[in-house]
Amino acid sequence: MARERRGALLELLQRPGNARCADCGAPDPDWASHTLGVFICLSCSGIHRNIPQVSKVKSVRLDTWEEAQVEFMASHGNDAARATYEAKVPSFYYRPTFSDCQLLREQWIRAKYERKEFIHPEKQEPYSAGYREGLLWKRGRDNGQFLSRKFVLTEREGALKYFNKNDAKEPKAVLKIEHLNATFQPAKVGHPHGLQITYLKDNSTRNLFVYHEDGKEMADWFNALRAARFHYLQVAFPGASDADLVPKLSRNYLKEGYMEKTGPKQTEGFRKRWFTMDDRRLMYFKDPLPVSPQDAFARGEVFIGSKEGGYRVLAQLPPGTQGPRWAHGITIVTPDRKFLFACETEAEQREWVAAFQGVMDRPMLPQEYAVEARFKHKP
């Protein structure tokens, strides 16, 4: 009997809807919630285990299953659960994948099954109302300590503002939604809910590092920022479809890490710098986190165009290059000049080359030519 039940379960895993984790899309899930009727991956099963009042999990391959539980799985499954628990997910809401941080995956699972936010849209107000205010811990620029700051997001003003004093009338900074990006960076911020917010000020990229102890609060802030970007873009590009706009709401960095670089004359010697690849912009900083106000600015930026535009990447340095301590060289060839880098390990070199190549293989969008032109005129 037990063998037949296992066979029936393994057969259910062959159904197309069950071939990927119901929550993060990871391939070949072999765990299941037998109270919700979904097949999930090992990693998501750990999150389900923390909400026992709605979800009870078992291994498809290792645990003992009762007949009624197998029948429940057969009559439900991932497609049916999606139709119920994801019935009203707003377009702008971030659906995490298996490569996203624990916070995003956990809050997605809790939003779906515990809070049932996508069955009852009135529960979506914290991120869909167009206005949000509250306190966040913000990393101070001078000493790196986190300080409690009031933040206000207002779609009507198209801005995220923060205040150094709770009763202050004038905000310390006004970040335009138009130029804003938010990406979770737990390791960099040093907190599992750490969020990096980037924005443009006087044409250069600035960063804020914030967190909230409560996971739901932090995920609500993130989705409120995405909602604000979505509504801004809907007005700015009236003909665009939701599918066109959703990828523009927030973006993760393609790659980050240390490399050594040399200056434009290539005689200055190589210096170790922290690099962030944000779409087509390769920025470098003295350190991953700014330790003084001047360090909050990128020291420099390189625009990475497309191969059609004459950009190339080579996993080597020109013969005879002097100076790098690190052995694994990279040359980026742009229409203007060559940029030379060195990585500490071969794995790092491979990842950076893949990140550059991926961007170069992508044809340029019309609006990206204007950005490229601005870079070309820089000294």
| 21 binds Zn ion, rule: CB under 5 A | yes
Interface with Zn ion: number of residues (CB under 5 A)? 6
> CA–CA distance from 368 to each of 230, 371, 379 (Å)?
20, 5, 20
Q: Which among 21-29, 162-170, 278-286, 337-345 is the span making contact with Zn ion, rule CB under 5 A? A: 21-29
Question: Hey, which bits of 73-158 come out as E strands?
Answer: 131-139, 146-154
Q: Which among 19-27, 251-259, 266-274, 331-339 is the span making contact with Zn ion, rule CB under 5 A? A: 19-27
Compare residues 76 and 149 and give the one whose CB is closer to Zn ion: 76
Cβ(337)–Cβ(311) below 8 Å? no
Closest approach, Cβ 181 to Zn ion, in A, equals: 25
Q: Strands of 146-154's sheet, edge to edge?
A: 173-176, 159-163, 146-154, 131-139, 204-211, 195-201, 181-184
Compare residues 44 and 245 and give the one whose CB is closer to Zn ion: 44
Closest approach, Cβ 26 to Zn ion, in A, equals: 5
In the DSSP assignment, the letter for residue 163 is E
Compare residues 26 and 174 and give the one whose CB is closer to Zn ion: 26
Q: Which among 18-26, 248-256, 286-294, 302-310 is the span making contact with Zn ion, rule CB under 5 A? A: 18-26
Which residue of 24, 60, 249, 302 would you call a contact of Zn ion, by CB under 5 A? 24
Residue with tokens 């090992």: 42
Report which of 105, 98, 115, 100 is spatially closest to residue 47, judged by C-alpha positions.
Answer: 105
Cβ(262)–Cβ(269) below 8 Å? yes
Which residue of 12, 44, 153, 228 would you call a contact of Zn ion, by CB under 5 A? 44
Closest approach, Cβ 371 to Zn ion, in A, equals: 36
How far is 321 from 342, CA to CA, in rounded Å?
A: 11
Compare residues 32 and 218 and give the one whose CB is closer to Zn ion: 32
Residues 259-286 as b or e (16 or more Cβ within 10 Å = b): bbbbeeebeeebebbbbbbbebbbbbbb
How far is 53 from 58, CA to CA, in rounded Å?
A: 15
How far is 254 from 210, CA to CA, in rounded Å?
A: 21
Q: Is 193 exposed, middle or buried (0-12, 13-18, 19+ CB in 10 A)?
A: buried
| 13 binds Zn ion, rule: CB under 5 A | no
Kind plus residue range of the DSSP H or E element containing 11: helix 2-12
Which residue of 8, 26, 51, 333 would you call a contact of Zn ion, by CB under 5 A? 26
| 153 binds Zn ion, rule: CB under 5 A | no
Closest approach, Cβ 9 to Zn ion, in A, equals: 18
Compare residues 21 and 277 and give the one whose CB is closer to Zn ion: 21
Compare residues 31 and 232 and give the one whose CB is closer to Zn ion: 31
Q: Which among 25-33, 142-150, 159-167, 361-369 is the span making contact with Zn ion, rule CB under 5 A? A: 25-33
Could you say which residues in the range 239-258 bind Zn ion, by CB under 5 A? none
Closest approach, Cβ 96 to Zn ion, in A, equals: 9
Per-residue tokens: 9? 């379960």
| 304 binds Zn ion, rule: CB under 5 A | no
| 41 binds Zn ion, rule: CB under 5 A | yes
Closest approach, Cβ 99 to Zn ion, in A, equals: 11
Compare residues 30 and 295 and give the one whose CB is closer to Zn ion: 30
Q: Which among 36-44, 179-187, 241-249, 286-294 is the span making contact with Zn ion, rule CB under 5 A? A: 36-44
Closest approach, Cβ 43 to Zn ion, in A, equals: 5
Residue 209: helix, strand or coil by DSSP? strand
Q: Which residues bind Zn ion (CB under 5 A)?
A: 21, 23-24, 26, 41, 44
